[in-house]
Amino acid sequence: MVSTFASMADFLAPAQASFPEGVGSVTLAHYLFVSVAMFTMGLIGFLTRRNLIIMFLCTEMMFQAAGIALIAFSRFYLHHTGQSFVIFVLTVAAAEAALALALVVLLFRGRESLNADQWHSLKG
Amino acid sequence: MLHPLTTLASQPNVALDQYLPLAVIIVGAVGFAVANIVLTKIIGPSRRGANKGMSYESGMNPVGTARKRFNVRFYLIAMVFLVFDVEIIFLYPWATTFPNLDPANPDAGIWLFRIFFFLFTTIVAYVYGFRKGVFNFD
Amino acid sequence: MSSLLVLLAPEIVLFITTCIVMIVGLWPKLEVRSLAMPIAGMGLLIAGVLAINTPANPESILPNIIPYAKAMTAGVGLLLVLLLAGTVDRSYEAAVERGELRFNPIHTNRAEFFAFFLFSLTGLMLCASATDLIWLFLALELVSLPTYVMATISTRKLRSQEAGVKYFFLGALGAAIFLYGFALLYGGTGTTNLIGIRDALAEQAASGGINPIAMAGIILSLIGISFKIAAVPMHFYTADVYQGAAAPVSAMLAFVPKTAGFIAMMGILAAVGWQYAPGGETLAADGVGTLPRSIYVTLAAIAVLTMTVGNVLALLQRSIKRLLAYSSIAHTGYMLVALIAGPSIAAEAGITSNGLGAVLFYLLVYGVTNIGTFAVVACLERPQPDGEADELDDLEDLRGLCRTRPVLGWVMVICALGLLGLPPLLGFWAKFLLFTSAISAGEIALVVILGLNSAIAAFYYLKLVTLPLLEEPEGDAPATTPFASRTFAGVLSAALVLLAIIPTGIVDAAMEAADRAGTIVPANIEAIERSITAEALRDEPTPIIDR
């Protein structure tokens, strides 16, 4: 199951074979491409946007990017480890969402704004 | 980038009869919605008035600015909901696996114990929410 | 299963204690409610006793770490419980006692506060017993999520909320990054079991180099976890959060996530191993080596930047808590040096050349000493009109403290000297082990930078020593907190720092905990392939029968 591949291309080539007939041409690389794109968009969004809710959604997108990668690898290796990982990732994401909601409500009461730039009373 | 999709569509061996249950569900869902609308038109009493004309006749009053703040209890309920919502995704894999367990297997008790422990943690969360007064509506 | 129950007994005890604390803390009667803190302490005590007797876990990548790491968690946790007394609900409980308010559970925070504290410690213990990436991810999140809430509710001031938000958002970013790293690591090796990953990586290294996906995964994981240990690319939150949260919570934040992060890093690096030749990615024949090149460069850059940034910015601070926060960043950098050095793989390795043992010992020493300094901040307070007294947090407030408040003054002097690493104190032995392990691994450049940084650190630590000890007090003595257990925690940690004449028992325990980590050089590829085949076969859950 675990083999050694010297380079990325060699590593991804057998993915073609491991998928069933109908989706034969959608390889692991396609999934990974989507996943990396989502992760990068999330990261860029987190660093550039200043609205707290948008920033939180960006981190959620990064979580889901990891989820896609896990599922794709799980299919590639034909076992369930990655899929069960995703269930736990979803749980943690839900817990974080609850926390983020609570924090955002608390903050909005305190300052009537969700702009991250207004939070600068702690400095030094 | 069209290439994968075209190859997928041109696959000769996609067995359409496998999609029959899906078609039944789609027909059922659409039929349910249509039947509800048609039947209420036919059977239901027809009254008109200012309250009846509102977009929601029960729940939040939709009059006034849309930027109004929700009662914070909605968030508490949302969070309690989240606990049970997430609990379900752990129960499903367990429930699909457990019936396949060999009854003679000595690990069967442990499998049962695990899910009971998991449910116990949810009950603790529930008791905590109850004591905290999350379910108090006054 | 039963062996797993024995291994996880401390966590189970802590978890049950958490459930009890969560319910008891909301009790309408004050006498019952006040039991939350003693119950938390009792749970930690039982968990600590159970932890010491835990056997080694052969399925873990750090087989011997469990007793030491869990006992350390419980011990420092007990000090923290003493320190956390009266952190939340102070003005509310006072109003309830005066009869101005009726007790309403929804307005109190006591139950959550202690329950979340115990949850966080449970997560730390679970980190130590992790054998799997999924487990490790969940444990790291269990450490962090409660601390976000604790920082936010630790005071009723706006600055705590701001601290909580900054901490949460950067924490979520860090979690997303190391989660992606874990996903790639799984993709590159085909398993989430840490021992399986170790074998897969060893096999890849032996036949042409580690898979680039796995390598990217390791580096992303390390960068994401650097949030937990407050290392440079993710260190921005540290000063703001430590300053915004109440001092007892800051003391906790300086120990619990940092320890969890270091244990997680040790686990991942042990899967990679320290046995690579310095030039390339091949296995070193003589068993003396280092990490793979790209990981080595990443970690060394992080370590150097972390030390330097922490120490230089600490020089500029006027607030005690910000100073301690930047010093916390600097200490992370010191420990990273020993982490890079790793366990010595050579057969004749002695006690002074085990970098992982040095890190484990340093974590304990840093946790204890740091609690002393934060206890002084937590004990000095300025009465506020709303009843929720504010902490004294300016360096000037320490002026002449040894005269006005001798106990607190001396605690500050001793603990600051301990953080500095003055020879007879506990901190010196910890730093000594960092130096010797790095030297024996041949990391001379890093050791020189470590030495220079320790010299810079002397400037600001000596401020914490000379201000209470040598300066004349100005005005009246500052008010102190009514919670005696906070002072007790400070005195206790100062006593531990002083009683460092014979720390060899603990050092031995730390060294034993790090024993056999990452040292298995795979000489026989066939054996690895056999074990991988066994791993693949084990993927199908055995108790399932087909119907």
Laid out side by side, the sheet with C390-391 consists of: C390-391, C380-382, C479-480
Contact list, A101 vs chain B (CB under 8 Å): 75, 78-79
Q: Is residue C221 a part of any domain in this protein?
A: yes
Question: For residue C308, is it within any domain?
Answer: yes
B-C contacts at Cβ under 8 angstroms:
38
Residue C417 lies in a domain: yes
Average pLDDT in chain C: 85
Q: Which residue has the tokens 């876990």?
A: C57
Asked if the model's pLDDT at residue A109 lies above 90, the reply is no
Q: CA–CA separation, C140 vs C224, rounded Å?
A: 11
Distance CA C85, CA C81 (A): 7
pLDDT in tens, A59-77: 999 999 999 999 999 999 9
Model confidence at C119: pLDDT above 90:
yes
Query: How far, in Å, CA of A71 to CA of A30, rounded?
Result: 13
Whether C128 is covered by a domain: the verdict is yes
C543 located within any domain: no
Q: How far is B46 from chain A (nearest CA, A)?
A: 41
Q: Is residue A16 within 8 angstroms of chain B, CB to CB?
A: no
pLDDT tens sequence across C360-394: 999 999 999 999 999 999 998 887 776 667 788 88
- The answer to whether the beta carbons of residues C425 and C500 sit under 8 Å apart is yes
Per-residue pLDDT at C395: 85
Q: Decide which of 1.10.287.3510, 3.30.720.110, 3.30.420.40, 3.30.200.20 is the CATH code for A27-113.
A: 1.10.287.3510
Report yes or no: C224 and C177 within 8 Å, Cβ to Cβ: yes
At residue B57, the pLDDT reads: 57
Which domains, from first to last, does chain B contain?
3-132 (1.20.58)
Tell me the C-alpha distance between C233 and C336, whole Å: 14
Sign of CA dihedral C384, C388, C392, C393: negative
State CA C420 to chain mean position distance. Answer: 19
Residue type, C438: A
Task: Compute and round to an integer the Cα radius of gyration of chain B.
Answer: 25
Whether C542 maps to a domain, the answer reads no
Domain range for C290 is: 2-537
* Interstrand relation of C380-382 and C479-480 (parallel, antiparallel or unpaired): antiparallel
Q: Rounded mean pLDDT of chain A?
A: 79
Q: State the CB neighbour count (10 A cutoff) for residue A41.
A: 14
Whether residue C63 is contained in a domain is answered as: yes
Buried b (16+ CB within 10 A) or exposed e, C421-440: bbeebbbbbbbebbbbbbeb
- Is pLDDT of B25 > 70? yes
* CB contact residues (below 8 A), chain A span 40-79, against chain C: 42-43, 46, 52, 55-56, 59, 62-63, 65-67, 69-70, 72-73, 76-77, 79
Judge whether residue C351 has pLDDT over 60. Answer: yes
Give the neighbours of chain B: at least 3 Cβ pairs within 8 Å: A, C
In terms of CA atoms, which chain B residue is nearest residue A25? B4
pLDDT tens-place string over residues C426-463: 888 889 989 998 988 888 899 999 999 999 999 999 98
ipTM, 2 dp = 0.86
Q: C543 and B127 in contact by Cβ < 8 A?
A: no
The pLDDT assigned to C280 comes to 56
Q: What is the pLDDT of residues C190-210, one digit of tens each?
A: 999 999 999 898 888 887 778
- Chain A contact set for C320 (CB, 8 A): none
Task: Please determine, for residue C521, whether its predicted confidence score (pLDDT) is greater than 50.
Answer: no
User: Which residue, among C6, C72, C15, has the nearest Cα to C363 in the 3D structure?
Assistant: C72
Split at pLDDT 50, 70, 90, the class of A113 is low
Locate the DSSP E strands across C263-413: 380-382, 390-391
Which has the higher per-residue pLDDT, B41 or C331?
Answer: C331
pLDDT tens for C460-486 read 999 899 998 888 887 777 788 888 888
**Most confident range, picked from A33-47, B41-55, B84-98:** A33-47
Residue A99 has pLDDT above 50, yes or no: yes
List CB contacts (< 8 A) between C541 and chain B.
97
Where are chain A's structural domains? 27-113
Q: Between residues B8 and C6, which one has the greater pLDDT? A: C6
* Residue B112 and residue C6 in contact, taking contact as beta carbons nearer than 8 Å: no
Total domains, chain C: 1
Q: What confidence tens digit (pLDDT) does each residue in C270-290 have? A: 998 887 776 555 555 555 578
User: What pLDDT, in 10s, does the model give residues B84-98?
Assistant: 888 888 898 888 888
Q: Are B133 and C104 within 8 A, CB to CB?
A: yes
Q: What is the DSSP letter of A115?
A: B
Residue C547 lies in a domain: no
Instruction: Give me the pLDDT at residue C517, please.
Output: 53
